[in-house]
Structure 1
Amino acid sequence: MSTEGKNKKDLRIKSNVYTESDVKAPNRAMLRAVGFTDESFTKPQIGIASTWAEVTPCNIHLNDLAVEAKSGAGAAGGVPLQFNTITVSDGISMGTQGMRYSLPSRDLIADSIETVVGAENLDALVAIGACDKNIPGCAIAIANADVPAIFVYGGTIAPGQHRGKDIDLVSVFEGVGKLNAGDIDEAELNQIECNACPGAGACGGMYTANTMAAAMEALGLSLPGSASNPAESEDKYKDVKAAGEAVYNLLEAGIYPKDIMTKEAFENAITVVMALGGSTNATMHLLAIAHAAEVDLTIDDFNRIQEKVPHLADLKPSGRYVMQDLYKAGGVQGVMKMLHEAGYLNGECMTVTGKTIAENLAQVEGLKAGQDVIMPLDAPKRADGPLIVLKGNLSPSGAVAKVSGVKVARHEGPARVFNNEKDASDAVLNNKINEGDVLVIRYVGPKGGPGMPEMLSISSLLVGKGLGEKVALLTDGRFSGGTHGLVVGHIAPEAQSGGPIALLHEGDLVTIDSTKKEISCAVSEEEMSERRKGFSAPPLYRKGVLGKYAHNVTCASKGAVTDYLSR
């Protein structure tokens, strides 16, 4: 045990329920009621935080996984204590007012886990998540709780089957667009719906959950293999039990989140996200996690890394394969080994194994021979990364585009401006949006939404109607990791804060240029200044969770965090 780790552990034994002081007798009495014995008070308490819930297939199996983690932590010598926090399903809330709660749930999850760890004076933590927001939520909690900790991914869902082809949840969203275009009938859509989600696990493509799971493994917060092992696999049960054992080793070695979550580790995470063609949400979530870890990561770091990392993965939404296929091909570890050997990853970064990235990868076989999920470095899908930060007079603080699979590098057209998603969706369904248009949805940012809802429904409608690369979709809201097409989100400053997108008029000429990384409108500074004189933001939402969120959240380019002023 390191000196730092030993001192930390001894200090906790002297200052908490382990003490023999009479003043701590009530603490011990309450813990005896949950099963503690005299011996228990000589061991470290290890929290097992699960985001189990019956509201989504992503998390339906997590209670069983938490039991395995508890078993591992107990066998290693700790006293494991299991507790839960919330989750919400983006896929179920998509296109409804419920989607406003999705991003705020990330901070609620983080705050609730940190609260339990802090209030109960837990010595270490295993956090288990499986959906879009509970993965970064767990990581933010790990950074803020500052005890030895490991994140475990609940795993990906298996692909569904329809007419001999793999399908997933996004197939259903796009099916709605195909129905509206007359390409399929209602019976066909019903068959797609009934077969898209065959069991437990997070959405199968390189969408936000799988993106963030891969990022956690590259960051060093998960055991090797955690991101790739499917939800309903023997390997998943093994890796979650191993996490319970490994966190005890971290405690003994005195390895804390700050030792793992360094600037170089975040650069590794961004590198893997770029190579895999991950979700646009990764930009905001990694910025938020870095903020919690007090690491100086900015939105401009994404472009710096994007310029040198090739896109290698042929994964949905723009590719052919799903996460289970990557698992069979060698997993995220196989991709990391490939990237490390080519000099793209920093191998000196510490991980939750107690070893460095390089030491972990030395034990990895690599990608399987003959696999075609991951392209070779000399024949990538794209020579640079597919996540691009755009700036210009329409988004001075930055917007995010995902250009994987998009053949159009530049689009110029008239703005079709809507102040909410419903009106924009109605216009698409009623064939009022034409080829060449720039569809703008504003007042749906972190403050304006409030909650920065995702626009998967309308982006899928456009793809389903054959307009995915013929109409540009811009918003100060977000997009699902399942979105593909000519879309730009996270426009900052948002409309609610008086960003230029709030001053855009119907018919203004808008240009998106992914090669130059620019997003602009053909409106002079003088005209913008004149329009600003008449601008008045709608009143901020004031009630409950969304009200508190709207009044505290930063813009997306700073991670949409709620404690920015405290740093």
Structure 2
Amino acid sequence: MTSDSRDPSRLRSNFEEGTSRWAVRRAQWRALGLTDEDMAKPKIAVVNTSSEMAICFSHLDAIAEKAKQAIRDAGGLPFEIRTAAPSDFIISGGRGATYILPTRDLIANDIEVQVEGAQLDGMLMLTSCDKTVPGQLMAAARQDIPTLMVICGYQASGEIDGEHVDIEEVFLHAGYHAQGNTSFDRLKEMSEQAIRSPGVCSGMGTANSMHSVTEGLGMCLPGAAPVAANSERMWDYVARSGARIVDMVWEDLRPRHIMTEGAFRNAARVDLAQAGSINCIKHLQSIAVEAGVDIDMWKVFDEEGARTPVLTAVRPIGPLSIEEFDAAGGAQGTMKRLEAVLDTDVLTVTGQTLGETLRDVVIHDDNAIRPVDDPWGDKPAIVILKGTLAPEAGVVKIGLRTPDRKLQFRGPAKVYDGSAEAEAALLAGEITPGDVVVLRGQGVRGGPGMGGASRLVFAVEGRGMGPDVAIVTDGQLSGLVNKGLVVGEVQPEWAEGGPIALVQDGDMIAIDVEAKTLDLEVAEDELARRREAFRPPEPTQDSGWLSIYERTVQPLSRGATLMTDARRGNG
């Protein structure tokens, strides 16, 4: 980093006077009412994913106004820019829900176009629903200009007859309803009561997990995650973040100074200790790829999972509310408990080391965030499996282990190439206890874009067979924990010709969480015969964004980032 010299000539946004770039931009900005004094200031992109289609983004316009005023008060010049606003529950309607993950990369590219094209000096990211967080962090890592993430908060959930209900439970019970085990009237009532304020889903799903991971990376102000949307504390963080990003520009404190290998390991430890979302693995991998950090996040989660106890138990894995976790100290409290095993020398957006930011942290509830020697669970909540069916990786979200929880499963395969097909078979009674349901063609290329397998998982539970049927898929899963064994994100995926593409009905599959294995019990000569007969699928999309995604996406091992064919070969 350079010293904090506030000479406007240092700013990349200040073009040489008299040049065509200077002249035409000055004409545009004078017409917007900006003065020459304004145009000499640090120019900050306020990245806003506001949308009228989803409650998780509905409060961001007001936050943007507060953030812009804080930037002005600190001597900066804010420019609000907009990107796509992907809500899993809204844009899942089209093309088999395959737009969700690809929108992450669309956000990163959209930010690059606007910020790099305009040569702005810094970015303040208003981060909300779960794909906006990694998309924004990917852009920050790629462009490497001073960037600060603003956590915009979780929503208030509701009650029915004194019992908690939230959006994830609506999703879960929709699966139950499809199998005849939740009435339409009950599902309708749940959908009316589940959400009572703006913000992201209130459990420790992907959104709140990624907010915590952001704090683990050092990319938001300390103590910012989680926070209740529109709370006094959230507004305070917005104001302080707006002031801080201006200082970061003058200090030249950039994302690649902060997001080092040590920071990525810290982020993994936070997610593991909070039994957070498995989706954080691929998102962290994508951010690391953009940051130029050579790290295998599946290996990191495997290594750190063996020595990271579960310190909190926020819904859906345990009884705690997100509000209780927040009040106890949130992600910063988790990091304080883990302080002895974290890399505390890494920098944060404050300009201080992580150790310095944790020095005076106090945990306010020893049950909500337990000490490492008295955890909620001493076994990893997230387990990476490997074996003949998953030579690279497969992921299991166990949550808190109970004596009756099955950790081994062996049974015959029932193979399906789509969720609708599998759900119809379930309803028809073709899937029975003891089966291993293989749902394939759901990966980043096969989807394209990982439409998700959770609908099938919830349908199996709704049928009352959660503990008795295992599911193996190359698709992604919700942050919810199921009762049975579900292995997601199997690599290599079907479209890459991985072993999951070779499974046939009746093949025996063995899952062992303790041994961390996932095996297809078929002789190698038979697999070789099937492998020779396999033909890679032709692209399914002939135009549009999904067509671009399908042709350029790299495997999960590279974070499902988008690269040219040349870079794919070097990966």
TM-score scaled by length of structure 2: 0.94
Match of 2:80, SS? strand
User: Which residue of structure 2 lines up, in the alignment, with residue 418 of structure 1?
Assistant: 416
**Stretches of structure 2 lacking an aligned partner (at least 5 in a row):** none
Cα distance in 1 for partners of 2:120, 2:156 equals: 35
Tell me which of 374, 377, 393 is aligned to 1:398: 393
User: Which residue of structure 1 lines up, in the alignment, with residue 107 of structure 2?
Assistant: 109
Change (3 A) 1:138 1:8: farther
Cα distance in 1 for partners of 2:482, 2:238 equals: 32
Cα distance in 2 for partners of 1:58, 1:75 equals: 28
User: Which residue of structure 2 lines up, in the alignment, with residue 537 of structure 1?
Assistant: 536
Change (3 A) 1:256 1:82: same
Which shows bigger deviation, 476-485 or 234-243? 476-485
**CA displacement, residues 244-272 of structure 1 (integer Å, 9 cap, x when unaligned):** 11111111222111110000000000000
- State the 1:8 CA deviation: 9.7
User: Which residue of structure 2 lines up, in the alignment, with residue 429 of structure 1?
Assistant: 427
Cα distance in 2 for partners of 1:297, 1:200 equals: 36
- State the 1:333 CA deviation: 1.3
User: Which residue of structure 1 lines up, in the alignment, with residue 171 of structure 2?
Assistant: 173
| Corresponding letter in the other structure for 2:517 | E
Cα distance in 1 for partners of 2:283, 2:317 equals: 21
**CA displacement, residues 38-90 of structure 1 (integer Å, 9 cap, x when unaligned):** 11122111110111111211111111111111111111111111111011211
1:512-531 correspondence to structure 2 within 5 Å: 512-531=511-530
Contact 1:215 1:269 in 2 (8 A): yes
| Corresponding letter in the other structure for 1:500 | P
User: Which residue of structure 1 lines up, in the alignment, with residue 41 of structure 2?
Assistant: 43
- State the 1:429 CA deviation: 2.8
- State the 1:323 CA deviation: 2.1
- State the 1:457 CA deviation: 1.5
Tell me which of 344, 360, 364 is aligned to 1:363: 360
Match of 1:394, SS? coil
| Corresponding letter in the other structure for 1:338 | R
TM-score scaled by length of structure 1: 0.95
- State the 1:426 CA deviation: 1.5
- State the 1:442 CA deviation: 0.5
Cα distance in 1 for partners of 2:93, 2:16 equals: 53
Cα distance in 2 for partners of 1:54, 1:18 equals: 37
Cα distance in 1 for partners of 2:220, 2:153 equals: 12
- State the 1:4 CA deviation: 6.0
Tell me which of 29, 32, 40 is aligned to 1:34: 32
Which shows bigger deviation, 234-243 or 204-213? 234-243
User: Which residue of structure 2 lines up, in the alignment, with residue 282 of structure 1?
Assistant: 280
Cα distance in 2 for partners of 1:474, 1:129 equals: 32
Contact 2:176 2:458 in 1 (8 A): no
Cα distance in 2 for partners of 1:163, 1:149 equals: 45
| Corresponding letter in the other structure for 2:535 | S
**Stretches of structure 1 lacking an aligned partner (at least 5 in a row):** none
Contact 1:5 1:255 in 2 (8 A): no
1:238-257 correspondence to structure 2 within 5 Å: 238-257=236-255
Matched, 1:189 2:187: yes
| Corresponding letter in the other structure for 1:55 | M
Contact 1:152 1:240 in 2 (8 A): yes
Cα distance in 1 for partners of 2:144, 2:233 equals: 28
Change (3 A) 1:413 1:9: farther
Contact 1:55 1:88 in 2 (8 A): no
**CA displacement, residues 347-393 of structure 1 (integer Å, 9 cap, x when unaligned):** 1110011111111112322x214x53333322323213211211111
Contact 2:6 2:250 in 1 (8 A): no
Give me the identity figure in percent.
Answer: 36
Change (3 A) 1:8 1:494: farther
Match of 1:469, SS? helix
1:261-280 correspondence to structure 2 within 5 Å: 261-280=259-278
Which shows bigger deviation, 452-461 or 76-85? 452-461
Contact 2:68 2:242 in 1 (8 A): yes
- State the 1:453 CA deviation: 1.2
Cα distance in 2 for partners of 1:463, 1:220 equals: 38
Give the superposed CA RMSD: 1.9
Which shows bigger deviation, 372-381 or 438-447? 372-381
Change (3 A) 1:180 1:18: closer
Change (3 A) 1:3 1:449: closer
Change (3 A) 1:194 1:400: same
Contact 1:420 1:444 in 2 (8 A): yes
Cα distance in 1 for partners of 2:454, 2:305 equals: 24
| Corresponding letter in the other structure for 2:349 | V
1:430-509 correspondence to structure 2 within 5 Å: 430-485=428-483, 486-509=485-508
Matched, 1:86 2:84: yes
Matched, 1:21 2:23: no
User: Which residue of structure 2 lines up, in the alignment, with residue 74 of structure 1?
Assistant: 72
**CA displacement, residues 157-181 of structure 1 (integer Å, 9 cap, x when unaligned):** 1122122122211211222344355
User: Which residue of structure 2 lines up, in the alignment, with residue 154 of structure 1?
Assistant: 152
Tell me which of 372, 375, 393 is aligned to 2:370: 375
Contact 1:400 1:490 in 2 (8 A): yes
